Amino acid sequence: VATGVLVQPVGSLNRAVAFSSKQLDPMVCGWQPCLRALVAAPELTRQALKITPFQPITFKAPLETARHGDTRF
């Protein structure tokens, strides 16, 4: 299961606005967590855009995900 939190900046803090979850494909569930995060990001982004259309979105993920982001498969 992929989970995400949509937050809104309020002063110097981020306040939770919505929580989202999405069941991942069974094949993806066996992958390493960093690779699952790469698959989950677009799914959760689509859900966030339904709530906040045409607003800028910043995606934050663990450092391990960033290392795999430049990997070519």
pLDDT digits 0-9 by tens, 2-45: 888 888 889 999 899 888 888 888 899 888 887 888 888 888 88
- The distance from CA 2 to its chain's CA centroid, rounded to whole angstroms, is 8
**Total number of domains in the chain:** 1
Say if 73 falls within a structural domain.
no
Structure tokens at 42: 């677009």
Residue 71 reports pLDDT greater than 50: no
pTM (two decimals): 0.64
- Give the three-state DSSP class for 9: strand
What is the pLDDT, as a whole number, of residue 21? 87
Residue 21's domain is classified under what CATH number?
3.10.20.370
Say if 52 falls within a structural domain.
yes
User: Cα separation of 69 and 67, whole Å?
Assistant: 6
Per-residue pLDDT of 41-62, as tens digits, reads 888 888 888 888 888 887 776 6
- For residue 9, what are the β-bridge partners? 14
What is the pLDDT, as a whole number, of residue 11? 92
**37 is in which domain, residue-wise?**
2-68
Say if 61 falls within a structural domain.
yes
